[in-house]
Amino acid sequence: MSSSQRKDLGRALCIITGASRGFGRTVARELSRLVKPGSVLILTARSEENLRSLEVELAGSEAGKSGLLVQCVPADLAQMAGLQSVVSASRAAFSEHIDHVILVNNAASLGDVSRFTSSFTDMAEVDSYLSLNVTSCLCLTARLLQALPPRPGLCRSVINITSLCALQPFKSWALYCTGKAAREMMFRVLAAEEPDLRVLSYSPGPLDTDMQLVARSSTADPDLKKTFSDMFSSGQLLTCEASCAKLMKLLLEDSFTSGAHIDVFDL
């Protein structure tokens, strides 16, 4: 462990997309434990019911009782109105007491993995995938950076939840691999442009979530499908908690190169 690891993440405004389930839900829980009283968590996803249950859970936790504010923003991030509601809630919560903004771009979809690349002839289908997984991620990040501008003493961290698929081709996963690669390059450009930001692309590893269930049941490529099924049946999938603990360690240590891709298995 680095000797300079911070004990907490400060009085933070955390915006977590895809917080309703899976990895994003765990990130919200873990961040709630590492931020100081007076911090605000903005939880967003489409499922209001799942967000509300997390809000209730966190309100009753140690952090909730010591002054953590949790706000749910049910929103479809594929829609401009959805982005705007997250930005409005974040701007309203950005008080002078906040000393750390943490944006976790976690929401994503797998896309149709039951077909191979040569079947994607419909521009509207591809545009719709990229709209949620690339365009909305870029535009939400840009809007939030404008709405929560730099000021003395404020640290701004932007986390992109990425995948090995950003770096390696997975047969029958054309949409997902393309989206993750594009997103990652976008964050590398951002890191190069704005050296004061802390930008991290964190690859959480194979997680036991709904997305994995779709991966092992629908993947068209038989070898890849078998790999996912074997990982599941032999207990090789990671829990969201185990992977998230490594992400939290990276944030506390704060020694990563801005814009870097860091995989859970690198740590």
Scanning the structure block, which residue is given the tokens 């390696």? Answer: 168
Other beta carbons less than 10 A from residue 129's beta carbon: 21
Nearer to ligand NAP (CB atom), residue 98 or residue 144: 144
What whole-number distance in Å separates Cα of residue 157 and Cα of residue 199? Answer: 6
Nearer to ligand NAP (CB atom), residue 90 or residue 209: 209
Task: Write the binding mask 219 to 258 for ligand NAP: x where contact by CB under 6 A, - elsewhere.
Answer: ----------------------------------------
Query: According to CB under 6 A, which residues from 148 to 207 bind ligand NAP?
Result: 161, 163, 204, 206-207
- In the list 77, 103, 174, 199, the residue contacting ligand NAP (rule: CB under 6 A) is 77
Least distance CB 77 / ligand NAP (angstroms)? 4
- In the list 33, 38, 52, 76, the residue contacting ligand NAP (rule: CB under 6 A) is 76
The stretch near ligand NAP (CB under 6 A) out of 113-121, 140-148, 208-216, 251-259 is: 208-216
Query: According to CB under 6 A, which residues from 103 to 132 bind ligand NAP?
Result: 106-109, 132
Backbone φ, ψ for residue 102 (5° rounding)? -125, 110
Binding region for ligand NAP (CB under 6 A): 18, 20-24, 45-47, 50, 76-78, 106-109, 132, 161, 163, 204, 206-207, 209-212
